[in-house]
Chain A
């Protein structure tokens, strides 16, 4: 649990951070930056439990629920332990919440959820969603997600988010009442369609390209790291065989027996130590994964901007063509080809009354068109402004977090080396007694 009111902990001064401590550091940084939401409540995902129930098609299924705990932060009642509010949520509910946020705040780089399925696993790690280690890491990831949203300057004040945290039932209904679902469907369709923007905003294009690169390189890093972890596991475990053979050998020796036997124990300890080492490294991998998914969120914002830009361009194009039509009609010159124009040419001109009616209709359309362009322009400007603010915020957060991650990786390596030095020094002492 993040302890309230603490200052930023100096990560580097203490080289023996446990993984939970490093998690805390991230949390403390988020809490410190303090949105109004975080200033008044503590949020955590404290537990996970297995449930069985009937699903939508009335089939029996097993799933995991996570306990969200909230507690009011009241400076006055430091001494007392204020009441905990809690409710259970499934992963799918988190997904719904995130989709809602994506649609409602298209300019925001929305924090990602922990992965749906275990990827980048190495052989010992389970790809099973029910595996307790996976569930535990997901619990941590979900807590992280909530804290990220709660510390976001815009997202933290969302009412639906607040209900998600505090109201077990009725949350979903309220969310659907916002009508975001309809917007979601149309947006989704539009986003998946291919379209080309005539004057792409250079900054967003660069950001999208960066998002692509970030996604690609972090994927590669996670893959390579997983393979290396697999191999390292093998190296350590084989040393366990030394333990076994030394023990057997000591049975046939007189003077060498004791030294061999105790050396064997150290070899066993060495082999066993890799489990903790690699578990810590998984936390590091999870931190990288968060930014792998963040890269996708970033690309989504850029794509949405493209869509907004495209819609503006379409509106402008539409208006221009309507204006041109009006001009042709007014002056009688036909510059744009139209079937109507051709047929009227072939089969006779239209009457002045018909022309008048048409002109009037075009005028209305042009008025509407101009309104639309004005709207879309404002939309675009608004989007660009908000998106760029959030992108800058995201950049700073990313630089800070990833740097911390690299530092914690170094600390892990140091810890691993120190363990190695200790074990082999112990072994050496035993060998000397051989």
Chain B
């Protein structure tokens, strides 16, 4: 990878920005010029093996997180830990705090209330597991996030260690201070947003709408398929019932009943595939769109803060030295944020393209497979009728 490792870019405390640690803005851009090179992938993470835990207070699920790596900063080459959803949330929060204008892949939602999906329903757990797996892999593939100390601890620490590490970090009051600053900045609003970020925002708005539409369309398809399945399920038994009144026709009718039933099973699987594979990915990118909006907002806030400080310096007479200091820091912070966002934006677009492309290709492949299986069912029926008829000497196929 091509980013400079000697600069510690992980900021566990987002508010204390040490400008002296940084080199020139140009080199900062270089820092973020990273190209994905699959051959140099040196860390592999999997999430599997959900298990439920029952305590006096609650029941929850943990997942096994396995890591295999050749990186020198890891003490060993293999790790196995168990993590629960809360831990993933914590990790995401830490990454966002440290890198307000980098794009963190979304986590699956806490709890799907609509349709009353039971939290411990097998399908729900499996869908969540896959999403958590994707999340960690996105982090591992990210040049900045993957070297995060919090990420390392998440992958390697025993449960007790993780709990105590979680308790560190910026206290409640300093977090409150950050929030107040952010709100103040938001209220102020940004005045001279660079065109490229406005274009980004427009893109994100449009993209968000499109991906939400795709999610809705896909869910509608699933609904229609399920209703089709309900009706189709009655066809087979009707043919079977008919066969009971017939003599010569009994065999072909029973055969058709069997074919319809088999097609029903394939349709059922087809519906499940859409629900299990395409919908979660579309859903993730709906959440991504929200993440992007938040990132753009945070960038705007950083700029608004800089603009406010610029104005203050121009108008106020007292404390000019401190203010100038603050202004310099704010300027650096803004430049840093802008460059980080620009690079990560490019990276994100590539990843999005790959993800959505492979999700749709996968869907198309599954549809082809569905039709191929149904085709085979009906062709075998035709074949049986052909050999039957030839056997009975009824029809001449020559």
Contacts and interface: CB of A to CB of B under 8 A. Distances in A.
Contacts of B259: 410, 413
Interface stretch (A190-198, A366-374, A415-423): A415-423
A269 interface: no
A428 B227 CA distance: 26
Given A235-B221, A399-B248, A421 B371 contact: yes
Contacts of A431: 357, 360-361, 364
A398 to B, nearest CB: 8
A413 B357 contact: no
Contacts of B224: 231, 234-235, 238
A432 B361 contact: yes
A12 B372 contact: no
A407 B397 CA distance: 14
A126 interface: no
Interface string B250-264: 001100100100010
Contact of B396 (A8, A230, A413): A8
A249 interface: yes
Candidate in B206, B213, B378 with the most chain A CB atoms within 10 angstroms = B378
A402 B249 contact: yes
Contacts of A413: 259, 263, 374, 378
Candidate in B217, B235, B248 with the most chain A CB atoms within 10 angstroms = B217
B379 A255 contact: no
Contact of A434 (B207, B225, B356): B356
A425 interface: yes
Nearest to B209: A248
A227 B233 CA distance: 11
B17 interface: no
B381 interface: yes
B52 to A, nearest CB: 36
B228 A231 contact: yes
Contact of A248 (B210, B239, B361): B210
Nearest to B361: A431
A378 interface: no
A410 B210 contact: no
B71 to A, nearest CB: 32
Nearest to A226: B231
B235 A228 contact: yes
A230 B228 CA distance: 8
B2 to A, nearest CB: 22
Interface stretch (B286-294, B295-303, B325-333, B382-390): B382-390
Candidate in B241, B364, B381 with the most chain A CB atoms within 10 angstroms = B364
A15 interface: yes
B377 to A, nearest CB: 8
B396 A10 contact: yes
Contacts of A256: 353, 356-357
B153 interface: no
Contact of B378 (A235, A259, A402, A410): A410
A221 B235 contact: yes
A425 B364 contact: yes
Contacts, number: 157
Contacts of B368: 420-421, 424-425, 428
A403 B385 contact: yes
A409 B368 CA distance: 21
A11 B386 CA distance: 10
B395 interface: yes
Interface stretch (A212-220, A327-335, A346-354): A212-220
Interface stretch (A35-43, A101-109, A239-247): A239-247
Interface in A389-429: 398-399, 402-403, 406-407, 409-411, 413-414, 417-418, 420-421, 424-425, 427-428
Contact of B227 (A234, A398, A407): A234
A241 B396 contact: no
A242 B215 CA distance: 10
Nearest to B394: A400
B245 interface: yes
Candidate in A234, A402, A406 with the most chain B CB atoms within 10 angstroms = A406
Contact of B357 (A13, A249, A252, A432): A432
Nearest to A427: B364
A232 interface: yes
A26 interface: no
A424 B371 contact: yes
A242 B385 CA distance: 39
Contacts of B385: 12, 403, 406-407, 410
Contact of A418 (B232, B249, B252, B375): B375
B62 interface: no
A399 B221 CA distance: 39
Contact of B232 (A214, A220, A228): A228
Contacts of B228: 228, 231-232, 234-235
Contacts of B374: 413, 417
A225 interface: yes
Contact of B382 (A12, A241, A245, A263): A12
Contacts of A11: 395
A176 interface: no
A254 B44 CA distance: 32
B74 interface: no
A217 B375 contact: no
B210 A407 contact: no
Nearest to B218: A242
A297 to B, nearest CB: 17
Interface of A: 8, 10-13, 15, 210, 213-214, 217-218, 220-221, 224-225, 227-228, 230-232, 234-235, 238-239, 241-242, 245, 248-249, 252, 255-256, 259, 263, 398-399, 402-403, 406-407, 409-411, 413-414, 417-418, 420-421, 424-425, 427-428, 431-432, 434
Closest 4 CB pairs of A and B: A428-B364, A231-B228, A420-B371, A417-B375
Interface of B: 203, 206-207, 210, 213-214, 217, 220-221, 224-225, 227-228, 230-232, 234-235, 238-239, 241-242, 245-249, 252-253, 256, 259, 263, 353, 356-357, 360-361, 364-365, 367-368, 370-372, 374-375, 378-379, 381-382, 385-386, 389, 395-398
16 contacts: A10-B397, A10-B398, A11-B395, A12-B385, A13-B397, A218-B242, A231-B230, A238-B217, A238-B220, A245-B214, A256-B353, A406-B256, A411-B378, A411-B382, A425-B368, A434-B353
